[in-house]
Amino acid sequence: MDLWFTERYPQGWGITFKIERSLYSGKSRYQRIDVLETAGHGRLLVIDGCVMFTEADEFVYHEMLTHVPLFSHPNPKRVLVIGGGDGGAVREIVRHSCVEEVVLVDIDEDVIKVSREFFPSVSCELDNPKVQVLAEDGVRYLESCPPKSFDIILVDSTDPVGPAVGLFEKPFFEKCFRALKRDGIMAAQSGSPYFQLDLVGRVHRTVAQVFPAVRTYIAGTPSYGGLWTFVIGSKNGDPAQGPIREDQLAVSDLKYYNYEVHKGAFALPNYILREIGKQEK
């Protein structure tokens, strides 16, 4: 018997994986979590019917969410991750030897448990002594966080439904701004430029109301149906100028990110430029 999983997008699109078997299915306080063994892409994490990542191409998303902001900062020491309970972003952050402390705040402790059990290659650094893992709402955490606490804040959230709605709104980005130090940088996943173009534009414009420098950048992630966008807000300096640190060699075994990819990720197609309110070049 052939088993297939499809995440359905609006406008009659979908992304489909051939499934060998289901490894886990459960309902947490916040969401339904599934782990599926695919025929060709390793294990697949699904939350509320949406693809979070596959083992085959998670490196693209996790490397681009983390290394673009981290290499745009002169000396990142304290990093906060909101969401990202799977640990993929944390795994990439601790490759930077200058980072002294990472705080991961995911609302759902079940995601953290499931990733530890079924995705050891993704969750492998959650027990690193530099990493503190908290099961808490990211918005609440930031409300109680002293000003100027972090060099980098990464928002590795689910789409803006359920508990993640607040993570895409202006008051949240204002809290991020407040919690960042003088050279601070925030980066967040901001959706698919095919299936969620309005979201891409809305998030960019909202972050631009809060941060002096804002950019949208892209990466190709097959499991998300093609291109994916990230938004980056900086208190000081333009991340699109390229990496500003010289220690790339320390992370030379990366599979996606490099100097040219960093710069090239900010080259946007016209239809995305129009949506975020920038002129075509």
Under rule CB under 6 A, residue 111 binds ligand SAM: yes
Give the total of residues touching ligand SAM (CB under 6 A): 24
Under rule CB under 6 A, residue 85 binds ligand SAM: yes
Q: Say how far apart CA 178 and CA 131 lie, in whole Å.
A: 22
CB of 7 to ligand SAM, least distance (A): 10
Residue 115 DSSP SS3: helix
Tell me which residue has tokens 């959650």: 126
Spatial CA neighbour of 150 closest among 96, 245, 80, 236: 80
183 is catalytic: no
The binder of ligand SAM chosen from 35, 44, 79, 82 (CB under 6 A): 82
CB of 74 to ligand SAM, least distance (A): 27
Tally Cβ neighbours within 10 Å of residue 224.
26
CB of 246 to ligand SAM, least distance (A): 29
CB of 237 to ligand SAM, least distance (A): 26
Spatial CA neighbour of 200 closest among 168, 224, 166: 168
Under rule CB under 6 A, residue 52 binds ligand SAM: yes
Instruction: Give the binding range for ligand SAM (CB under 6 A) out of 6-14, 82-90, 118-126, 175-183.
Output: 82-90
Instruction: Show the tokens assigned to 130.
Output: 């530099």
The binder of ligand SAM chosen from 99, 107, 186, 210 (CB under 6 A): 107
Q: Say how far apart CA 189 and CA 206 lie, in whole Å.
A: 14
222 near 57, Cβ under 8 Å? yes
Q: Nearer to ligand SAM by C-beta: 47 or 268? A: 47
Torsion of CA 133, 109, 48, 46, to 10 degrees: 60
DSSP 8-class letter at 100: -
Q: Single out the catalytic residue among 57, 110, 156, 159.
A: 156
Positions 203 through 262 that interact with ligand SAM (CB under 6 A): none
CB of 249 to ligand SAM, least distance (A): 27
Q: Is 250 left (phi over 0), alpha (psi -120 to 50) or beta?
A: alpha
**Interface map 137-176 toward ligand SAM (x if CB under 6 A):** xxx----------------xxx----xx-xx---------
Q: Across the beta sheet with 213-221, what order do the strands follow?
A: 131-135, 101-106, 78-83, 150-156, 180-191, 226-234, 213-221
Instruction: Show the tokens assigned to 280.
Output: 């075509």
Under rule CB under 6 A, residue 83 binds ligand SAM: yes
Under rule CB under 6 A, residue 106 binds ligand SAM: yes
Instruction: Give the binding range for ligand SAM (CB under 6 A) out of 105-113, 120-128, 243-251, 263-271.
Output: 105-113
The residues binding ligand SAM (CB under 6 A) are 52-53, 61, 82-86, 105-108, 111, 137-139, 156-158, 163-164, 166-167, 189
Known catalytic residues are 156
